[in-house]
Structure 1
Amino acid sequence: MFCAAAAVLSVAACNSGQSGQENRDNPTSGSIRISVDETYKPLIESEIRVFESLYPKTKIVAEYKPEADCFKDLFNDSSRLIIVTRDLKEDEKEFFKKAKIRPNSLQLATDAIALIVNNANPDSILTMDQVRAIMAGKSEKPWQIVFDNQNSSTVRFIQDSINKGAPLPANTMAAKTNPEVIDYVTKNKNAIGVIGVNWISDTADSTVIEFTQRVTTVKLRGDGYSEFVKPYQFYIGMKSYPLTRGMFYILKEPYQGLGSGFATFLGAQEGQLLIGKYKLYPARLNIVFREATLK
């Protein structure tokens, strides 16, 4: 699996042989700034800690922001590497092609969107028809929809995948960050929060444990399924949990630099195991689920 992931190291290396650039970063030393979709903050902070411990001469400064801003950074050369929830669109690929730039991208995992409600809210089991009605503002119950940011990937996902391009209800609000979404839902019985699943998935993290105790994660029944499920890793991987999406890196680096090194790490075994720890479904590992009998 590492060999497949390591192919990124060969991308756009036409300038790597230039002389007089001894201070330039390379895959295992130097510093770099990257832009990361803020829904991945807990996971990527963990990935960076492990990577920097393996390669102590490296320093990765991650800026966590709405997905739209990550793409702006890629296009204006503020970041060579971004970690986001979608691949490049065809018009974006064409833009780079005309500029004679060949970005490299790879899906790292299957991710999920989690819906959370107040612990006192009895409506924590929903069909997708009910979710669509809520997100269109047509539910009989007066739900208050809460996102992390108006330009976030979760807003785009709901608008594209659930609302099919239709706008969200007028009373939809943005709470600025994922922890603030959780805090708002904790205080408002009719609120339904939309967050990235890795914010509530690491059961070994005290902050995550505290989050999950304060809110209830909604069980969903996908179209064509009979079972209501939470965004657990098995259901994400099998796509029986309906609100799934990809996790990608996009790298635009004109030489074999630290961006290439970190991207390779994310797609190799160490990085993929960390992705699994945060209950996303790793895209570059062979995972086998086995039935077990609990006594």
Structure 2
Amino acid sequence: MRKLALSDEILLSIEKPARYIGGEVNSVMKDPEKVTTRFAMCFPDVYEIGMSHLGIQILYDMFNRWDDVWCERVYSPWVDLDKIMRERHIPLFALESQDPVRDFDFLGITIQYEMCYTNILQVLDLSGIPLSAAERTKEDPIVIGGGPCTYNPEPIADFFDLFYIGEGETIYRQLLDLYQEYQKEGWTRREFLIRAAKIPGIYAPSLYEVSYHEDGTIASFAPSVEGVPEKIVKQIQMDLTDTYYPKKPVVPFMKITQDRVTLEIQRGCIRGCRFCQA
């Protein structure tokens, strides 16, 4: 039986403790000894907002259909628990296993809106993961960002090892297979990033040189390593009739922001307005 990361004393002293205990209906438990890759999927906002997001549910279901992968969920703690975790040196943990995020192979962060940028730093800091990607070692998880804000990743590029540009159903399996090869072959972290950057839709900021105009706009963007693409092509799931969709979505114990079943009947928009990421 798993042990909760937070004591009863802490849970009874904070607001909405159901945010942090996991164990919801349809949440996925696996034996960590029987999987090859552990993936912490993070929505950098409080539980009730993150649990309302369909994209996380889709990827969570997709990852956990693979026998060699265990995907767990992570959310930003509210200010009351944040204070306690810092005072008592409690690392940020995943809901399913209650294990520290720093022990995972990947920390995937969906970036849905710019207002959560500071929460990303909170997640990294509470996890004990160096904020700067350049300071991370092989002992740290690969931090990968996804979601609509990755279409303009440069404001937060220093904090990420990789960005996944586009829709998550397309090439994640290829990336995870590469990571397993990296573990088996003993590559350096940089060697893994170079190989990962050759997968369509994957952007590794440390492998590119970016210069800026005085007004902050990008003046030039070019790879600094031979063999990585000059342009990263957004990945699109063209056929929605034969793709992953959760048949058993995780059902929370508490009321969440969108407290209802979400069904996807279409994706994107035909208008193509330049100011919109849809």
Q: What TM bracket, shorter-length normalisation? A: under 0.3
TM-score of the superposed pair, with normalisation by structure 1: 0.24
Q: More helix by proportion, 1 or 2?
A: 1
Q: More strand by proportion, 1 or 2?
A: 1
Query: Higher relative contact order by CA 8 Å / sep ≥ 6: 1 or 2?
Result: 1
Larger CA Rg, structure 1 vs 2 = 1
TM-score of the superposed pair, with normalisation by structure 2: 0.25
